[in-house]
Structure 1
Amino acid sequence: MTDIVTGKPDRMVAVRTVFGIDSSLMVPAFSERDDHVPEIDEVYRFNPEVTLAILAGFSRDRRVMVQGLHGTGKSTHIEQVAARLNWPCVRVNLDGHISRLDLVGKDAIVVRDDLQITEFQEGIVPWALQRPVALIFDEYDAGRPDVMFVIQRILERDGKFTLLDQNRVIHPHPYFRMFATTNTVGLGNLNGLYHGTQVLNHAQMDRWNVVATLNYLPRAEEAGIVLARVPELADEAGRALIESMVSVAELTRKGFASGDLSTLMSPRTVINWAENCQIFHDPAMAFRLTFLNKCDEAERSIVAEYFQRCFGTELEAEANVENHAAGIR
C-alpha cells in the first residue's frame, strides 16, 4: 500500500487513454490504491470540459469548483476522476452541523498509560493538508461564515495553515488538492430552489482558480446512464420506457426554467424512477412515488400533463394498491 503521509504520484497517465477525451494532457497518478481512493464506477460518463477542469486541479494544483443543479453528479465526477488516478479522496459536507472546530481541531481528553490527559486532535483540514489527498467540500455555498473563513486561509497560493492553539504553521503537502461543489455560484438562494445556501464572500470566490459548470447531459447520454444503472431495461420495450422517462424529465426542466414548476427531475430522480419501476412493475405508480408526491399540489396537474404527453396515458390521482400488490410481493 502507498504511504498516504509521504506518498506521491509515481506515474503519468494519458487523459486520452484513461478518460477517452481528445487531449494530449498527461496527469500524475498513483500505481497502488489506498483505502481513501473511491471505487471505480465502470459505467460513469465523463463530461469532457468538466473532466479537464478537474484534471487541471490534480495536475497543476488548481483550486477547482464544480457548480450546477442538483443531481448532475458534481461530487461523483470528482471522485471518479480521483478513482482512475488512484488518488486518495475525502469528502466533507458543509452542512449546518460542521463547525470551525471540526475543520481545525480541538482539545480532547484521551487515556494514555491509564492516565487521562488533554491532547489536541487535528481536524480534517490540517490532517488532509499534510497528505496527498484530494479534499472535496460538498455544498460549499451552505457553509457557515466561521467555517468559510477557515477554508479561505488554505485557498491562498501557498496554502499555509496556522494552528494558533499549537503555535504551529502547517505547510501543505506538494500533492494536496482541493475541490468544491456548489449549487449556486455564491449568489445565494435566488430562485428559491436551494434553501440554506449563503451569499459567499466575493474575495473568497475569487480565490478559486477554476470554476466549471456541470449541466444535465444530452438526452441520449442521460438515457444511456439510466440503462447502465438498470440493465433489466435493456430490451426494446425497456429502451422505449427510458426514452419516455427522459422526455418527462426534460419537460419538468423546461417547466422549471419558464417558471411553471418549482421543482424538476434530476438524472438521479430518473434513475430512481427506473429502479422503482422494477419494484412496482408500473411506470405510473413508480412515477407518483418517485417524483409527483414531492411536487407542490398546485403543480401536480402540470406534471401529470407532462406524463400524459410522453406516455400517452393519463396519470391517475390515486394508486390502485390492490392491482399492484402481487407485483410488489
Structure 2
Amino acid sequence: MQEPTRMLSVRDAFGIDTDLEVPAFAERCEHVPAIDAAYRFNPQATLAILAGFAHNRRVVVQGLHGTGKSTHIEQVAARLNWPCVRVNLDGHISRLDLVGKDAIVLEEGKQVTRFQEGILPWALQRPVALVFDEYDAGRPDVMFVIQRVLERDGSFTLLDQKKVLQPHAHFRLFATMNTLGQGNLSGLYHGTQLLNHAQLDRWNLVTSLDYLPPAEEAAIVLARVPQLATPPGREQVAAMVALAALTRKGFAVGDLSLLMSPRTVITWAENTQIFHDLRLAFELSFLNKCEPAERAIVAEYFQRCFGSELARHGEAADAGLLQAH
C-alpha cells in the first residue's frame, strides 16, 4: 500500500458542505486509527487537516485540553485509511529517540552493533501521517531536529550513517499544541516552551479548536454512554454539559484554575454508571481536582444546573457524627 488509489467526497465523509474530494487509500493497515462514528468534525479544522493530507501542507492544531486536537487528526486519517502515528513530545523524548541510535543486537549468536532508526526516519520513508502531540512542550534540541523536515520536500540527514533520506511522496506531518508557541502565559500549561519563530514559520497552516456547542457535546456524551439516552438521562446530560460550560467561563475570568473539558464530562457520565450516584461521580471525576478554595464556586455551579446542593460525602458523614454526639 504505497499510493492513495481513490478520491473521497468531503461532503459524504465529513458532513461539510463542499464539493472537494481528497485522496484516500483503498485498504486499511495496522497503523490506521479506528473510526469513531460519534466524532463531530469542526469544519475549519477539518478542511485544514484535509489540505495537509491532500497537498502536503504542514498543519498545527491549537486549542485547550480536551478539545479533541489529536483525535481530530486521527479521525480524518481513519476515514482516509491513512496510516497515522502519534508521538508525544514530553520532556523524556530525546534527539536519539527521534533520529535513532546504535544498539547491540545478536546476529548468529554474536553481539554486534547496529543502527536502529528512530520514529522520524522510519515515518519519513513511508506513507504515514506523523503527529507531534504537545509540540510546544518539546525540548529545544528535539525541535531543531524537526525543523529541517518541516520544509515542503525537506530531506533528513542521518549524520552517523552519512545518509540523506528523501521523504516519501505521501509522508505527512502534523502537530498539536495547547499554546501558540508563546509559552505558559495562562499558567495552565506548565512545561510549555517559547517556540523559535523560524520554527513556527515553517508550519503552513494553523487552525484552532474550541469546545463544541452544548447540543453537540451532549450528543457525544450520549453516544459514549448510551444508557443515558432516555428522557431523564438526556436532561441530566444537558445539565452536566451546562455545568461544564460554567466552569469554562469561570476559568476564563479567573474564578477557577481548572475547567471541565468534554473528556471530563464523558468521564463523569461513565462514572455515574459505575457508582449510580451523580454527586459522588462528580466529586471523583472533577471536584476533587479543584483547589479547596474554589470548590464552593463549583458547588454553586452544580446547584445552579441541578437545582440541588452539592453536599460532599465526607461533610455529610461529619455532620451525622456531630448530630449523634
Q: TM-score range by the shorter chain?
A: over 0.9
Q: In the TM superposition, what is the alpha-carbon distance from 1:222 to its structure 2 partner?
A: 0.5
Whether 2:63 is the aligned partner of 1:68: answer yes
Q: In the TM superposition, what is the alpha-carbon distance from 1:158 to its structure 2 partner?
A: 1.8
Q: Please tell me the residue identity of whatever aligns with 1:258.
A: V
Residue pairs, 1:174-253, within 5 angstroms: 174-253=169-248
CA distance in 2, matches of 1:278, 1:48: 33
Aligned mate of 1:20, from 12, 15, 40? 15
CA distance in 2, matches of 1:155, 1:267: 31
> Equivalent residue of 1:165, what SS?
coil
> Gapped runs of 5+ residues in structure 2?
318-325
Q: Please tell me the residue identity of whatever aligns with 1:82.
A: A
Whether 2:286 is the aligned partner of 1:291: answer yes
Q: Please tell me the residue identity of whatever aligns with 2:31.
A: H
Whether 2:159 is the aligned partner of 1:145: answer no
Whether 2:271 is the aligned partner of 1:262: answer no
Could you tell me the TM-score, scaled by structure 2's length?
0.96
> Equivalent residue of 1:221, what SS?
helix
> Gapped runs of 5+ residues in structure 1?
322-329
CA distance in 2, matches of 1:158, 1:38: 26
CA contact (8 A) 2:57 2:152 kept: no
Q: Deviations over 1:159-206 (max 9, x none)?
A: 110111111110000000000010001011111111111111111011
Q: Please tell me the residue identity of whatever aligns with 2:56.
A: D
CA distance in 2, matches of 1:191, 1:317: 30
Question: Structure 1 segments of 4 or more deviating over 6 A?
Answer: none
Whether 2:31 is the aligned partner of 1:36: answer yes
CA distance in 1, matches of 2:311, 2:154: 57
Q: In the TM superposition, what is the alpha-carbon distance from 1:157 to its structure 2 partner?
A: 2.3
Match of residue 314 from structure 1 = 309
CA distance in 2, matches of 1:99, 1:154: 16
Q: Deviations over 1:219-238 (max 9, x none)?
A: 11001111111000010000
Q: Please tell me the residue identity of whatever aligns with 1:172.
A: P
CA contact (8 A) 2:56 2:152 kept: no
CA distance in 2, matches of 1:33, 1:157: 26
Residue pairs, 1:82-101, within 5 angstroms: 82-101=77-96
Query: What is the number of equivalent residue pairs in this alignment?
Result: 316
Q: Deviations over 1:288-313 (max 9, x none)?
A: 11000000111000000000010011
Match of residue 127 from structure 1 = 122
Q: Which moved more, 1:50-59 or 1:108-117?
A: 108-117
Q: Please tell me the residue identity of whatever aligns with 2:84.
A: C
CA distance in 1, matches of 2:94, 2:224: 36
Match of residue 112 from structure 1 = 107
CA distance in 2, matches of 1:317, 1:46: 37
CA distance in 2, matches of 1:284, 1:310: 13
CA contact (8 A) 2:29 2:83 kept: yes
Match of residue 320 from structure 2 = none
Q: Please tell me the residue identity of whatever aligns with 2:69.
A: K
CA contact (8 A) 2:35 2:78 kept: yes
Q: In the TM superposition, what is the alpha-carbon distance from 1:317 to its structure 2 partner?
A: 2.6
Aligned mate of 1:53, from 45, 48, 66? 48
Match of residue 326 from structure 1 = none
CA distance in 1, matches of 2:31, 2:176: 19
Whether 2:299 is the aligned partner of 1:301: answer no
CA distance in 1, matches of 2:26, 2:278: 45
CA distance in 1, matches of 2:12, 2:276: 40
> Equivalent residue of 1:166, what SS?
coil
CA distance in 2, matches of 1:25, 1:178: 21
Q: In the TM superposition, what is the alpha-carbon distance from 1:126 to its structure 2 partner?
A: 0.4
Match of residue 325 from structure 1 = none
CA distance in 2, matches of 1:210, 1:87: 20
Q: In the TM superposition, what is the alpha-carbon distance from 1:112 to its structure 2 partner?
A: 1.1
Q: In the TM superposition, what is the alpha-carbon distance from 1:19 to its structure 2 partner?
A: 1.0
CA contact (8 A) 2:62 2:69 kept: yes
Q: In the TM superposition, what is the alpha-carbon distance from 1:280 to its structure 2 partner?
A: 1.3
Q: Percent sequence identity over matched residues?
A: 73
Q: Please tell me the residue identity of whatever aligns with 2:44.
A: E
CA distance in 1, matches of 2:30, 2:171: 16
CA distance in 2, matches of 1:318, 1:194: 31
CA distance in 2, matches of 1:304, 1:17: 43
Q: In the TM superposition, what is the alpha-carbon distance from 1:23 to its structure 2 partner?
A: 1.1
> Equivalent residue of 2:4, what SS?
coil
Could you tell me the TM-score, scaled by structure 1's length?
0.95
